Amino acid sequence: MIVGKTQAVTRPVSSTLIRVDDPYRSFAALLELYASARQEKTGREEPVSIAPSAKLGEDLFIGAFSCIAENASTGNRVKIHRQVYIGENVSIGDRTVLYPGVKIYRDCVVGADCVLHAGAVADADCKFA
């Protein structure tokens, strides 16, 4: 348990106390470290379907059974997990994560640093930024 250095313990505690100057900042730093460790996947699993006109950024991860349609584009360090569908003319910004089963229909714009969780569906009226 992360606690402040001056946190008083008024009753017995069965967990280990980690005493720090700023518990909130320390916890946030741990979350960032955890998140960055989870985002390290790169490369391409097979099979995938990528249209010839799709423009892909660098350091991508593309999971198996994903489909990237005509004129779609991605930024750099995008994570496209398994069974993701990216429709025609979709634009995805840098460092965005699309978890398994996400469907993004034609003409959507997904900005940088977005997270779409498993099974999310975005229609053409959507602009995430």
pTM value is: 0.70
**54 in Cβ contact with 73 (< 8 Å):** yes
- Whole-number Cα distances in Å, 6 to 2, 3, 46: 12, 8, 53
Give me the domains of the chain, ranges plus CATH numbers: 2-6+13-38 (no CATH), 44-129 (2.160.10.10)
What is the structure's pLDDT at 66? 98
**65 in Cβ contact with 85 (< 8 Å):** no
Task: Measure the CA–CA gap between 104 and 107, rounded to whole angstroms.
Answer: 9
From first to last of its 129 residues, the chain has per-residue pLDDT tens of 899 999 888 888 888 989 999 999 999 998 888 877 665 788 999 999 999 999 999 999 999 999 999 999 999 999 999 999 999 999 999 999 999 999 999 999 999 999 999 999 998 666 666
